[in-house]
Amino acid sequence: MGLILAKLWSFFCNQEHKVIIVGLDNAGKTTILYQFLMNEVVHTSPTIGSNVEEIVVKNTHFLMWDIGGQESLRSSWNTYYSNTEFIILVVDSTDRERLAISKEELYRMLAHEDLRKAAVLIFANKQDMKDCMSAAEISKYLTLSSIKDHPWHIQSCCALTGEGKDNSAMHPVWLLLKLPEVA
């Protein structure tokens, strides 16, 4: 009996939740990943076309996939979708020209069968830059309020400094708090 309990305990403690970090090239995905990692780093294993890191928050493991955003790589994003619980979409808030492409990619993901249960966290990154769009502007442009079938949240941020991170969605605890909503 004790063994079974121990096994169950270890199963739940070691359960990994999958997070994918997507967005156009130069949006700040890798910088954001490393902001998440500054708290508890477990290991790194760079792979071709993507980068995966594991973070542990109060015994809960998150496997975070940082996926290349160049045009040639976007068509293979869907190979990372299965079992994803969180989609982190990083937007460069200064990149007005390409916001339409981010929008297109966002809705393509939301319509994908493998992502039907995933929650979406959008980072309006590079808020330190002059003339950047605000999170509210980006939210409006992406028509986030029309998304009814996925939990979503938009967070303005500056991944470079991680400023304001502790009380924001850029802190790993945020993912943990949202898990019950996603499950």
Alpha carbon distance 50, 117 (integer Å): 22
- Active-site option among 15, 35, 70, 155: 70
68: annotated binding-site residue? Answer: no
- Those residues with Cβ within 8 angstroms of residue 45's Cβ, 6 or more apart along the chain or in another chain: 52
- Tally Cβ neighbours within 10 Å of residue 98: 15
Place of tokens 């309990």: 5
Question: Going residue by residue from 32 to 71, which x/- string records binding to ligand G3D, judged by CB under 6 A?
Answer: -------------------------------------x--
Of 100-108, 113-121, 157-165, 172-180, the window that binds ligand G3D (rule: CB under 6 A) is: 157-165
Task: Kindly state the number of chain residues that form the binding site for ligand G3D, as judged by CB under 6 A.
Answer: 17
Q: Which does 175 bind (CB under 5 to 8 A by kind): ligand G3D, Mg ion, none?
A: none
The answer to whether 70 is a known catalytic residue is yes
- Those residues with Cβ within 8 angstroms of residue 31's Cβ, 6 or more apart along the chain or in another chain: 125, 159, 160
* List 57, 106, 142, 159, residue binding ligand G3D (CB under 6 A): 159
DSSP class of 45: E
Asked if 162 touches ligand G3D (CB under 6 A), the answer is: no
24: annotated binding-site residue? Answer: yes
Alpha carbon distance 134, 110 (integer Å): 23
> What token pair was written down for 156?
């303005």
Smallest distance, Å, CB 33 to Mg ion?
Answer: 8
Asked if 30 touches Mg ion (CB under 5 A), the answer is: yes
Per the CB < 8 A criterion, the answer to whether 94 and 132 are in contact is: yes
Binding residues for Mg(2+): 30, 47
Q: Which stretches of the chain bind Mg ion, using CB under 5 A?
A: 29-30
